[in-house]
Amino acid sequence: MKKLIVANWKMNPLSVKDAVALAKACDKKGVVICPPFPFILSVAKVLHNATLGAQDCAWEEGGAYTGEVSAVQLKDCGVKYVIIGHSERRRYFKENNAMVARKIAACVQAGLTPILCVGETQKEKEQGLRDTVIVRQVRGGLNGLPHPSPLLGKERGFGGSVIIAYEPVWAIGTGVSCAPEQAAQAHRIIRQTMNAKIPHLAEEIKVIYGGSVDASKAAGFLAQKEIDGLLVGGSSLKPEEFHKIFKIVSPV
Ligand code: PGA
């Protein structure tokens, strides 16, 4: 399975001009770029190799939901992947597993691939709750999908699947990342959970790692067979750093 690099720009940069420049600098095959909503169309125009992603979506398709953006609208703008349930959304906007599940279902229904983020907080880690939390978040996040889901899988014509991103909350934006072996262990738990939940698709589902990934740490994660790619925040805003990460996946 080819390893995937997802760039999560979060609420950066601050202008269309800078977003377009950053997109051009990071336009590589095998990369998914997730800009803020207002920059999506401008970024779409300059991408020739990378794939377009978004950072969130509404669970409804359309209607009176001020401030929301739907999966159907994103699809129409050329988006293929959507990050769902990022810990910053869970923390600052009080998203819970039930809301996440509805968003995942909306993405799949629209033919987009959701990137479901799961991971334990520092406190949960200290209490030895990592596995409990990630199993609950994976199961909860996929709860909106019929089982077995007729909407998932290329053979059904939706082209959609699901990606799970293991992002320990304590490692996000802190500079402290998880040890690759520890991450691989969490990925195994995630895969076991997926196997039980959607066995017919478990094989094609990527499980990627995120949390303070930079060029010096990327190789360690990518060397783990359980880790199918990376979700990169801060380092995706620095083209030079991002290139170094990209080169580990595609050396030529
Ligand atoms: P970080 O963010 O690489 O800046 O830690 C990762 C993420 O939040 O997806």
- What was the pLDDT predicted at 173? 93
Cβ partners under 8 Å of residue 17, min gap 6:
none
- What was the pLDDT predicted at 146? 62
CB of 85 sitting under 6 A from ligand 1: no
List the residue whose alpha carbon is closest to atom 9 of ligand 1: 233
CB of 148 sitting under 6 A from ligand 1: no
Residue type, 162: V
- What was the pLDDT predicted at 149? 56
Closest C-alpha to 87, from 58, 134, 53, 121: 121
Low-confidence stretches of the chain (pLDDT beneath 70):
1, 146-160, 202, 252
Quick one: which atom of ligand 1 is closest to the CA of 234?
4
Task: Please give the Cα distance from 105 to 115 (Å, whole number).
Answer: 12
List the residue whose alpha carbon is closest to atom 1 of ligand 1: 233
- What was the pLDDT predicted at 73? 98
Quick one: which atom of ligand 1 is closest to the CA of 177?
5
CB of 99 sitting under 6 A from ligand 1: no
8 Å CB contact between 80 and 86? no
* This model's pTM is above 0.85: yes
Closest C-alpha to 83, from 194, 8, 187: 8
CB of 167 sitting under 6 A from ligand 1: yes
Among 55, 117, 232, 245, say which to mutate for ligand 1: greatest number of ligand atoms within 8 Å of CB.
232
